[in-house]
Amino acid sequence: MVGIRNSAKAIILHNQHSLAVKKQDNEGFYYLLPGGGQEHGENLHQALARECIEVINAELMDLSANTSSVAIGSYRR
């Protein structure tokens, strides 16, 4: 039996463009929203913050648990 795992995904918009992660497998290219799986002990906001750093090297600025909207900070290099 396969368990269900929560994941957090970011919809990032800038100047009417959206950010997606481009991947490739043996069938060709495909696109994913930045994000990933929730780890044990994390809430979804924490998972999203960690995944944005790992996947797109960007920090989230506002992670209020009372909103589903967060702001993306400047990219860290």
User: What radius of gyration, in Å, describes the C-alpha atoms of the chain?
Assistant: 14
Paired sense of beta strands 28-32 and 35-37, if any = unpaired
Tokens, residue 62 = 């506002």
Q: Measured between alpha carbons, how far is 19 from 21 in angstroms, rounded to an integer?
A: 7
Whether 23 is covered by a domain: the verdict is no
Mean pLDDT highest for which of 10-19, 34-43, 55-64, 65-74?
34-43
- Would you place residue 75 in the very low, low, confident or very high pLDDT band (cuts 50, 70, 90)? very low
Give domain status of residue 18, yes or no: no
Q: Residue 60 sits in which domain range?
A: 36-77
Q: Would residue 13 count as lying in a domain?
A: no
Cβ 19 vs Cβ 12: under 8 Å? yes
Q: Pick the residue with more confidence: 45 or 67?
A: 45
Q: Does residue 8 lie in a domain region?
A: no
Number of domains in the chain: 1
* Residue 58 located in a structural domain: yes
Q: Per the domain annotation, does 3 fall within a domain?
A: no
- Residue 6 falls within a domain, yes or no? no
**pLDDT digits over 19-40, tens only?**
999 999 999 999 999 999 999 9
Q: Does residue 43 lie within any of the structural domains?
A: yes
pLDDT at 17 over 60: yes
pTM of the model: 0.70
